[in-house]
Structure 1
Amino acid sequence: MLGFELSPEQQQLRDLARDVALDVYAPRAADWDLNRTPLPHEELKRLADLGFLGITIPEQYGGHGGTLLDALIVQEEIAKENRQAAFHVFESNVGPCRVLEFFGTEEQRQRYLPQVASGDIEMAIGISEPDAGSAATDMKTKARIEGDEVVINGSKRWISNGGASSHYLVYCRLSDAPGAKGIGAVIVSADAEGVSFGASEKLMGFRGIPSADIYFDDVRVPISDLVVEAGGFRKLFGVFSIERLGNATMSLAIGQASLDRTKAYVAERQQFGRPLIEFQSVQMTLATMAMQVEASRLLIYRAAVNAGDGLPDSYETSIAKCFANEMAKQVSDLGMQMHGGNGYTEEYGLERLHRDSHGWAIAGGTPAIQRVRIASEMFGRSFNQRPEAIQR
C-alpha cells in the first residue's frame, strides 16, 4: 500500500476491531441475517465502550478526534464479519452527525455529538422520497418556520435504520425556490408528535438493518434543530461524500471477505485428486479477485487521506464508490462460483455477501449516478439530466 501505510496506532486499532469482529460478531452474523435481527442495544453500547462510535467525533464533544481513515479501518474489519454491527459504526462516524460537525451550531454539536459517541442516541438520514431517489432535488417534503418552531410535512423513503434510530437528519424544502436552492436540513426526534413510520421493508440484503418510510404530519421541532437553511444543499452533499466513502468501505469489506473465504476454500477443497488451487483457471480467478479488492482499497484510502480534516474530493469519492460497489458484486459472485454448489448454500456465507453487495451499490447514489458525477468533475460542469420542458 505505497503511500497509504498504516501507522502503528492504526494497526493496533485494526487488530482490536478484527478481534472483536471475530470473537463477538462473526458467530452471530448468520442468525441475525436469517431472523432480520436489529443490533441489540447492549451491542450498541459495547461498540460505544470500545470507542468505535466516536472515532471521528472531536474530543471536545466526547469522541476520539480520529481521522476518517481510522473509522474506515474499523468499519471494514467489522463489516467483513457482520454488516449489521458495522452499520452502526458507519452511521456514527460517516453519517449525518458529520453534518453537525461541519455545519451545525455549537449548541447542536454540544447537545448531540456526545450522545452519538456514547450510543445514547442514533441519528439516521432522510433524503429519498417515493418520487425522489437519484433525482434528490425533486423532494417534496416541506418545512416552514413559524416563530421559534419548524413545521414539517411530507414523507421519506428507504430510510436505513428507519423506525429504530432515535433521531433523523431530514432534508426538506425550506423555501419555494426551485431545485436545490430551496433545500435545507433539520433534526427530528422519532418521538416528536406527528412522526410515524411504515412497516420495515423485507429487503434482499441489509437484513437486520431496518428500512422504513417516515411520515411527517405537522411535525413541530424547535428552530434550534435547524441545521442547514434553505440553499444549503451543496453543503449537505459535500458532507455526504464522507458517507459515500463509508458506503464504499462496506463494499470493500464484502469483497475482502469473499476473497478470504474463497482463498481458504480452494486450498482445502479437492477435485480430481488435488486441491482446487492447483488448477490454473482457479489461480487466474483468485488473482482477478485480489486485484479488484486491492484497487478498491487504494481508491478509498486515497480519498480518505487526501480529505485530511476536511471534506473528501467529489471526484475521488465517486470513483472509489463506483469501483468498490461494482467490485463487491463481481468478487462475491466469483467467490460463489469458486465454491461450486457449496457457494449457493447459506452455510458458507457467500450468498449472504453477494446479497448485501447489491444493497450498497444502490444506497448513497448508484454506480450510474457516480459515473455522471465523475464526468461532471472531469469537465468542470454539471450535466442536465432533465428534458428542457420540465427543468426546475
Structure 2
Amino acid sequence: MTVDRLLPTPEAHDLLDLTTELATRELAGKVDDFEARGEFPREILRTLGRSGLLGLPYPEADGGAGQPYEVYLQVLEILAGTWLGIAEAVSVHTLSCFPVAYYGTPEQRKMLPEMLGGELLGAYALSEPQGGSDAASLATRAVADGDDFVVNGTKAWITHGGRADFYNLFCRTGEPGARGISCLLADAATPGLLPQAPERLMGLRSSAPAQIVLEDARIPRDRLVGTENQGFAIAMSALDSGRLGIAACAVGLAQAAVDYATGYAKEREQFGRPIAEFQGLGFMLADMATQVSAARALLLAAARSKDAGRPFSIEAAKAKLFATDVAMKVTTDAVQILGGYGYSADHPVERWFREAKVLQIVEGTNQIQRLVIARSMTAG
C-alpha cells in the first residue's frame, strides 16, 4: 500500500524516496539471514550513516541533516517496514546522541560529526537488572577520584551493548532518588567497561542487547555531560523523543503486516474465491488499516508539537502506547489471516509478530505510559 504522506518540503520527499531505495537495495535481501544468525549489521548502519540517515533531526552545523522530527520519524517507519532491527538501531543511536548534542561541553561536542555520521555508534545505558521501569532507583555508582570518576555497577538491556563506540552511562553520584544521578560519556575501550554476551531474544535477534558490567571503570571528569546530578533530567528529556522513535518503528512494522496480509488475502483462494472477499476477513483488514492510520496520525501530531517547540511529553507517551499496542494487534491479526502459513517462518508475519512484542516494553513499558498519561490528567 502506498502511504499518502504530507511532508513539509520537496527535500523531505526526496529523503523518503532515498530511504525507500536504500531499504529495497541494502536491507530487504539481508534481513532474514542476519536475523537467523543473530549478527549485528554494523556495516549496514555505516552505509546508512554515510547516506545521512543517522543524524537526521540534529542541526547541520553539528553534522546532522537539520530535518524536522516528523520527517525523521517517517524515515524510521520506512526502515522498520523492511527491517525492524535496523530501525530500532537508528532510533537508539539517535537517542544516544541527544545528551552530547543538547548538554555537552564544547569539547564533547567536537565528537558530534562522527556520532551523527554514524562512524561512532552510541548506546544509552540507563536500565539496570533490578531497576526496570524505576530508573530513579539505579544503583550503578560513580565516585569522584582526582580527575576521574570510578564507576562500579551493572547496566542491563543495553542496545548496542558490546558493539557501541560510546556509552551514555547514567550513574549515581549523589543522594538516593532522581536528584543524585549524573550522565557520563564513556568510550567503549574504557578499562573496566565489560560488555557481556548478548541476550537470547524472541525477536530482534540481529540487534540483541547486552549487560554492561562496570568494575572500577575510570572515566575522566571532563566526560561529565551537563552538571553533576543533572543526569535524570537529561535521561527523561531524551526518552520523550526516544518514545516517538519507537512509535514510528511500531507504525512501520504494522504497516508492513497490513500490506502483506492484504496481498495474501487477495491471492489465496478458498471455496472458489479470494479470501479477501469474505466479510469476516475483509473487516479484519479494514480494522487493521484504520488502526495503523490512527497510530500514524497520533505519532505525527506529537512530532509536529515537538517541531513547533510546544510541550510533547504526554503526546509522546500516548503515541508510544497506542502505536505499539496497534503493532501487536495488527501483527497478531496478520498471522491469523495467513492461517497455518502465518505460523511458518517462510512468511515474514511470523517474525513481525515476535518483534512487535518488544515494542510494548522498550523506552518505558506501556503500563508506565498509561501511568504517565493518567497522572497528567489528574494532577493539580
Task: Tell me the TM-score normalised to structure 2 length.
Answer: 0.95
- How far did 1:106 drift? 2.3
- Assess, with a 3 A threshold, how the Cα gap between structure 1 residues 205 and 119 changes in structure 2: closer, same or farther: same
Between the aligned partners of 1:313 and 1:106, the Cα distance in structure 2 is 28
> Which residue of the partner structure matches residue 16 of structure 1?
18
Which digits, 9 at most, give the CA deviation of each residue in 1:182-208, with x for residues without a partner? 012111111101111211111001111
Answer yes or no: is 1:180 the counterpart of 2:178.
Answer: yes
Between the aligned partners of 2:88 and 2:288, the Cα distance in structure 1 is 24
* Partner of residue 216 from structure 2, selected from 181, 198, 218: 218
* Alignment of structure 1 residues 1-392 onto 2, 5 Å: 5-41=7-43, 43-93=44-94, 95-110=95-110, 112-175=111-174, 177-228=175-226, 229-308=228-307, 310=309, 313-380=312-379
What amino acid does structure 1 have at the position aligned with 2:219? V
Which digits, 9 at most, give the CA deviation of each residue in 1:104-129, with x for residues without a partner? 2222122x211112222111001111
Between the aligned partners of 2:221 and 2:148, the Cα distance in structure 1 is 5
> Which residue of the partner structure matches residue 389 of structure 1?
none
Between the aligned partners of 2:317 and 2:239, the Cα distance in structure 1 is 11
Any idea what SS the aligned residue of 1:199 has?
A: strand
- Asked whether the 8 Å contact 2:57–2:67 carries over to 1, the reply is yes
- Asked whether the 8 Å contact 1:49–1:118 carries over to 2, the reply is yes
What amino acid does structure 2 have at the position aligned with 1:109? R
- Assess, with a 3 A threshold, how the Cα gap between structure 1 residues 10 and 312 changes in structure 2: closer, same or farther: farther
- Asked whether the 8 Å contact 2:31–2:83 carries over to 1, the reply is yes
User: Structure 1: where are the runs of 5+ without partners?
Assistant: 382-392
Between the aligned partners of 1:285 and 1:215, the Cα distance in structure 2 is 46
- Asked whether the 8 Å contact 1:21–1:78 carries over to 2, the reply is yes
- Asked whether the 8 Å contact 2:89–2:159 carries over to 1, the reply is no
Between the aligned partners of 1:3 and 1:312, the Cα distance in structure 2 is 24
What amino acid does structure 2 have at the position aligned with 1:297? R
- Assess, with a 3 A threshold, how the Cα gap between structure 1 residues 196 and 2 changes in structure 2: closer, same or farther: closer
Any idea what SS the aligned residue of 2:219 has?
A: strand
- How far did 1:311 drift? 7.6
- How far did 1:91 drift? 2.6
- Asked whether the 8 Å contact 1:55–1:65 carries over to 2, the reply is yes
Between the aligned partners of 1:131 and 1:311, the Cα distance in structure 2 is 34
Between the aligned partners of 1:253 and 1:289, the Cα distance in structure 2 is 13
Any idea what SS the aligned residue of 1:45 has?
A: helix
What amino acid does structure 2 have at the position aligned with 1:16? L
Between the aligned partners of 1:223 and 1:19, the Cα distance in structure 2 is 44
Between the aligned partners of 1:172 and 1:4, the Cα distance in structure 2 is 42
- Assess, with a 3 A threshold, how the Cα gap between structure 1 residues 217 and 310 changes in structure 2: closer, same or farther: farther
- Assess, with a 3 A threshold, how the Cα gap between structure 1 residues 216 and 312 changes in structure 2: closer, same or farther: farther
Between the aligned partners of 1:315 and 1:3, the Cα distance in structure 2 is 24
Between the aligned partners of 1:106 and 1:60, the Cα distance in structure 2 is 13
Give the length in aligned residue pairs: 377
What amino acid does structure 2 have at the position aligned with 1:51? G
- Asked whether the 8 Å contact 2:201–2:208 carries over to 1, the reply is no
Between the aligned partners of 1:272 and 1:116, the Cα distance in structure 2 is 57
Any idea what SS the aligned residue of 1:51 has?
A: coil
Any idea what SS the aligned residue of 2:171 has?
A: strand
Between the aligned partners of 2:343 and 2:186, the Cα distance in structure 1 is 42
Instruction: State which drifts further: 315-324 or 143-152.
Output: 143-152
Task: Tell me the TM-score normalised to structure 1 length.
Answer: 0.92
Any idea what SS the aligned residue of 1:286 has?
A: helix
- Asked whether the 8 Å contact 2:70–2:307 carries over to 1, the reply is no
- How far did 1:178 drift? 2.1
What amino acid does structure 1 have at the position aligned with 2:147? D
- How far did 1:6 drift? 4.8
- How far did 1:148 drift? 2.1
Any idea what SS the aligned residue of 1:363 has?
A: coil
- Asked whether the 8 Å contact 1:245–1:317 carries over to 2, the reply is yes
Which digits, 9 at most, give the CA deviation of each residue in 1:297-345, with x for residues without a partner? 0111011111016586111011000001111000000001011111111
- Asked whether the 8 Å contact 1:156–1:213 carries over to 2, the reply is yes
- Asked whether the 8 Å contact 2:89–2:207 carries over to 1, the reply is no
- Assess, with a 3 A threshold, how the Cα gap between structure 1 residues 13 and 232 changes in structure 2: closer, same or farther: same
What amino acid does structure 1 have at the position aligned with 2:108? Q
What amino acid does structure 2 have at the position aligned with 1:211? P
Any idea what SS the aligned residue of 1:217 has?
A: strand
Between the aligned partners of 1:127 and 1:312, the Cα distance in structure 2 is 23
Between the aligned partners of 1:347 and 1:210, the Cα distance in structure 2 is 22
Aligned CA-pair RMSD: 1.8
